[in-house]
Amino acid sequence: MKIRNQTQLSEFLLLGFSEDPALQPLIFELFLSMYLVTVSGNLLIILAILSDPHLHTPMYFFLANLSMVDVFYTSTNIPKMLENIQTHSRAISYAGCITQMFFSIVFAGLDDFLLSVMAYDRYVAICHPLHYTVIMNPRLCVQLVLMCWVISVLDGILHSLLVLRLSFCTHVEIPHFFCELNQVIHRACSDTFLNDLMMYLAAVLLAAGPLAGILYSYSKIASSIRAISSAQGKYKAFSTCASHLSAISLFYVTGLGVYLSASAAPSSASTAAASVMYTVVTPMLNPFIYSLRNTDMKRALKRLLFHK
């Protein structure tokens, strides 16, 4: 029997990682710690960039936006999971699930697009250094970030509206710690062909597109670096890209791991565990990636924390 979700379905159940009550305090402490590190680390990056005039450049403008998105991304999923563990409940309302799914899609897309925009910034800086300030002017930087937001929000709206048309049975269990699009769709009682089609089409266009742009940018960067005669010049050029390459590798490797685990075991908790890598671990590690090997960022953080 099919029951229309809009009128009768009131909630979903998020199964999380484990049903063992003894593990819940450990999971709570682990994710609370990671969440606090993620939020504090990314906020420090934003404050350091805002407070240091030397960091008011396109590269750090995009980095501040990436850090802001990472704070929003983890705040979309982790607090609800922590609340459920604390209240010994697995429930999330139907409206809450759709809202969480929408923002997860938006912020995951923003991460992807901002990384590709940052790759373009590095391409212009290394391949066209004399024209860098002219090309990467403040107006273009703002336009690129706005474009990222518009595309991501439209993608989130599209998938959310398609989910709203689905019918769900009265008892819906999601083997995940948040309302992930693929998991929600495959819990529906009605036909999901259109949802699956749009989900895979969006994945090809909105994930493969930015990745192609990143690969193209770095192929040009690699050619330019090879053309530099001095070893010191090559190292300096590469060092400006090292942090960004690390962030890209982490984002795409973890994302690929999620889809491979989902293909191997679509109903198991392994998908949820793999999702932790790009929803929690990647945003948590980004501040360390961009600060530990970046002299300007380390200097700005020291000034911010120790007033030096």
> Greater confidence, 92 or 249?
92
> Is a pLDDT exceeding 80 seen at residue 237?
no
The single residue listed with the structure tokens 């890598």 is 277
* Structure confidence at residue 135 (pLDDT): 94
Q: pLDDT tier at 5 (50, 70, 90 boundaries)?
A: very low
Using CA atoms, how far residue 152 sits from 58, 62, 300, in Å, is: 21, 16, 31
Residue ranges per structural domain of the chain: 11-306
Strand order in the sheet with 173-174: 91-93, 11-14, 173-174
What six digits make up the tokens of 67?
């850090």
CATH topology classification for 11-306: Rhopdopsin 7-helix transmembrane proteins (1.20.1070)
Between 16-20, 22-26, 57-61, 247-251, the lowest mean confidence (pLDDT) is in 16-20
The pair of structure tokens assigned to 138 is 């403040």
pLDDT tops 70 at residue 89 = yes
Provide mean pLDDT across the span 240-253. Answer: 82
Section 237-244 average pLDDT: 80
pLDDT bracket for residue 4 (50, 70, 90): very low
Separation between Cα atoms, residue 216 and residue 213, nearest integer Å: 5
Token reading at 172: 């819906």
Provide the percentage of residues in the chain whose pLDDT is more than 90. Answer: 53
**Residue 139 pLDDT exceeds 70:** yes
Sign of CA dihedral 48, 53, 54, 59: positive
Q: What is the distance between the alpha carbons of residues 212 and 2, in angstroms, rounded to a whole number? A: 42
Lowest mean pLDDT among 33-47, 101-115, 275-289: 275-289
Per residue in 62-75, pLDDT (tens digit) is 999 999 999 999 99
Mean pLDDT of 271-283: 80
Asked if the model's pLDDT at residue 215 lies above 70, the reply is yes
Q: Which CA distances in Å does 305 have to 37, 53, 117, 292? A: 16, 16, 29, 15
